[in-house]
A and B are shown apart, each in its own frame.
Chain A
């Protein structure tokens, strides 16, 4: 019992900086009540959550989003058969969070009957609000105020036998209003805001089986995925904020606009896996094939005035796209002695994306245009990874690894216009080699030290930001005793892509230390510090009215410090108090204002190469056990966000709750 209490306290401390509600302390006895042949452990917490936001409400909704109202903050129900021979089920585990109207809601359930079936279900809702992207002084588009709902159902028949059957269903949807934008009537025209009602649904059905033959387990799954995106777009109505053109430049106005672009697809797939675990070796393989295809239609019409002339533009696009993907993994693990482990992994990936898009445009200025596009993108990757681990003694162990990847990218852009066909095939191959070495020390059972380094080189990175010549260094020290746990890590990653005309280099270093300490069962403290330094420099080229500027660099510097601390104290036997604090601060490159650049950064980049922000959240929670079945909770949490160069994005939010936890 003491162990259970101890673990519970540690758990509450370690999950310190989660939102203040729901409360981690359930009401009622953990042993539960016996009813006939079942034992029932249950608890639910209901109460009122409040919030008061000053400053940018949009930014608050984007990063925190808790509101006001009565909530079923959390609940838990566990029903267990006492002899394992229940009539219809042997165990039900149900937990919920945030039901009522919290932006983050979930229900997780498992029902099982020994040897007969096991059913797992999860349902989640995530309210997603994004006010759009910020630029240096400008406002962003693509505002989203949507709800994502996800549910998964998995039924396993004969779960404890050598012959199992799997049935599954998943459903994911996104719906809600959104703002987007479109530029009319050409590349120099105005950008107009569009209103759309997002409607996306994705469904998956699964059927599978697992059996054993000659000591090898075979698992296969066949799935069908269907995707529908029926989001349409209309011109934002007059009077709606943002309905006027964004940053108007040319004499273009839009009287009407409507677009509909339904996009429906299906992704049937097969997955087969074999695996076996023997004394000297362990082997598994996985093979997948999916044949994704989408069919789409875009019907768009716009009417307005450009350069004092009436303009009508109708665009119809239709076509289909296919993406067959075949993959394979084969892993072999040898353990010739108890000290040596040799692991080899080979993987193959082959994806082809192909399809056609018939584009037809009628423009009152340019008359009709019809183009038929054919596109092809193929990626084939073969990779092999060999890893050796040698435990020289209980004190010291070594590891070494070598990784090789070979990738071939083939593309072909082809179009047919006015009877003329043009094609532009291209191919690029790339090889990556990397080596890794490390050593582990365990000088004392609670103490372990890990040092490792990885060096890699990439012959032909696809983008400047991809890994080129890179190396990564890692150090980790961990001390784990019964009442005290301390972890310290240091990571350094360097990457360089230097070629003529442009170059890209990045370095990041992360240092962190955290620990928790339990001083008797009444007092637990948990704290940590993390520093993440990122410095990148990339060659850029751009136009300024309309001169091509080359040889400039984009420099981005970020220095993020974050700390957290939490203290849990059992004031008296019935009263628990928790206080915590989190602060994240990006110090940027140290400049005090957006106007002063660093180095020789060109004018448009001065304001945006660093983005110092501070985000902090202190919280406190009080929980009082009134009797064995009732507990009262109250908590307060403050959120403060400050963007140094964008004062309008800042907010201060006072949130809190009071609730009762019941057990019956």
Chain B
């Protein structure tokens, strides 16, 4: 037999070997009936009807690769043949973050609230679905969260947790507001009301407005006389949204300091680029009554009747 013929035969045998090996691997990794799982995982199986993922099983029409245990964990044939083992099945505890995301998004990409999950800061920094969600050991039935939402977010965002411990804060710890009222942990569209790309993960009100306006609708306007600083740079110019040691979540302990730091007439700030107007001379700042700006400028967020926000 010539060298070429022997080489061809060897290549043929090798290819056949590879083909058979692949076929055997596929045969080993076949999808089984999901009933096969309950033999070794009876507790998970017996409670699975409470899990939102049971919905697809309930119809009884979906093939095993699209529903139940193997819908997420992949084919179970090899796992059964080997008597178990995390290495023989898609075990989420061993998967890298991007593989976890891919697995979950096979079904969960079809929701607008998760449209930005691949470019979200959480995803880009290795926070995968299973960092927050637990399919089989969830504390929260609604979203299968590992912990109550507030505890979950504060577990990593420790500086924010400290802000909610301030004497004046949004009532998140008290349970009447949750982080997801203002933020979308799955990533959000870029905020457009400010110049920079922050804040991130902020869930916007209807027309890309600040989320503050979802609840504080009386500040939305439109007003004939808008307080330009509020409309241009947003609520955070004056307020610290999570919590503050100052009343009304203000960034300064008293109002007039906050006002005068902008209304100083200097620089190229303001709508004309010649500085934001100062007070008029009758404002004697040595007199305490003029130190309380909002006692007269009562409609400081915007007014329909007075350009100085007096009514």
Contacts and interface: CB of A to CB of B under 8 A. Distances in A.
A463 B291 contact: no
Interface stretch (B15-23, B79-87, B113-121): B113-121
A353 B50 CA distance: 50
B11 interface: no
Contact of B124 (A225, A296, A399, A499): A399
Contacts of A501: 264-267, 275
A292 B310 contact: no
B14 interface: no
A303 interface: no
Q: Which of B148, B162, B218, B220 has the most CB of A within 10 A?
A: B162
25 contacts: A7-B137, A19-B174, A63-B167, A63-B168, A133-B250, A172-B217, A187-B296, A188-B282, A286-B115, A321-B304, A323-B221, A323-B222, A349-B208, A387-B119, A411-B271, A428-B270, A450-B125, A464-B269, A501-B265, A528-B161, A528-B162, A562-B162, A584-B162, A584-B166, A613-B245
A249 B147 contact: no
Contacts of A217: 110, 112
B231 A18 contact: no
Given A341-B119, A373-B225, A403-B196, 12 more contacts: A84-B58, A114-B59, A286-B189, A329-B190, A331-B119, A353-B226, A448-B126, A463-B270, A500-B266, A510-B159, A530-B161, A532-B162
Interface stretch (A517-525, A569-577, A600-608, A622-630): A600-608
A251 B287 CA distance: 17
B196 A182 contact: no
A462 B167 CA distance: 31
Contacts of A247: 287-289
B304 A294 contact: yes
Q: Which 8 A-B pairs have the closest CB atoms?
A: A84-B58, A502-B266, A323-B222, A530-B162, A611-B253, A349-B192, A501-B266, A247-B289
Contacts of A180: 298
A355 B217 contact: no
B102 to A, nearest CB: 9
A546 interface: yes
A84 to B, nearest CB: 2
A70 interface: no
B5 interface: no
Interface string A493-516: 000010111111000001011101
- Of B47, B136, B221, chain A has the most CB atoms within 10 Å of the CB of B221
Interface string B249-269: 010111111001110111111
Nearest to B223: A321
B150 interface: yes
B146 interface: yes
Given A133-B248, A542-B285, A432 B207 contact: no
Nearest to B250: A133
Interface residues of B, number: 129
Contacts of B6: none
**Size band of the interface chain A makes with B:** 35 or more
Interface string A281-322: 010101011101110101010000000000000010101011
A321 B125 CA distance: 44
B168 A187 contact: no
B267 A512 contact: no
A239 interface: no
Nearest to B262: A463
B295 interface: yes
Contact of B43 (A1, A273, A284, A440): A1
Interface of B: 43, 47, 49-50, 54-59, 96, 98, 105, 109-110, 112, 115-116, 118-119, 124-126, 134, 136-137, 139, 141-142, 146-148, 150-152, 154-156, 158-159, 161-162, 165-168, 171, 173-177, 189-190, 192-193, 195-197, 206-209, 215, 217-218, 220-226, 228-229, 231-233, 237, 245-248, 250, 252-257, 260-262, 264-273, 275-276, 278-289, 291-292, 294-296, 298, 304-307, 310-311
Given A126-B176, A349-B193, A501-B267, A321 B156 contact: no
Contact of A78 (B96, B141, B148, B247): B141
A15 B271 contact: no
B207 A466 contact: no
Nearest to A276: B109
Nearest to A226: B217
Contacts of A90: 55, 58
Nearest to B283: A543
Contact of B171 (A104, A282, A322): A104
Most central of B245, B266, B295 by chain A CB within 10 Å: B295
Contacts of B311: 182, 259, 261, 298, 300, 315, 317
A413 B47 CA distance: 66
B158 A558 contact: no
A323 B225 CA distance: 12
A351 B232 CA distance: 10
A124 B161 contact: no
Contact of B222 (A104, A321, A450): A321
Contact of B50 (A3, A80, A136): A80
A150 interface: yes
A409 interface: yes
A323 B276 CA distance: 24
B158 A105 contact: no
A513 B158 CA distance: 7
Given A200-B218, A353-B223, A546-B284, A141 B148 contact: no
Contact of A426 (B215, B271, B282): B271
A487 B4 CA distance: 64
A574 to B, nearest CB: 22
B283 to A, nearest CB: 5
Contacts of B167: 63, 584, 613, 615, 641
Contacts of B231: 351, 353, 377, 379
A568 to B, nearest CB: 13
B279 A322 contact: no
B206 to A, nearest CB: 5
A467 B150 CA distance: 30
B49 A82 contact: yes
Contact of A462 (B206, B228, B279): B228
Which of B59, B229, B260 gathers most chain A CB within 10 Å?
B260
Contacts of B295: 140-141, 181, 183, 191, 246
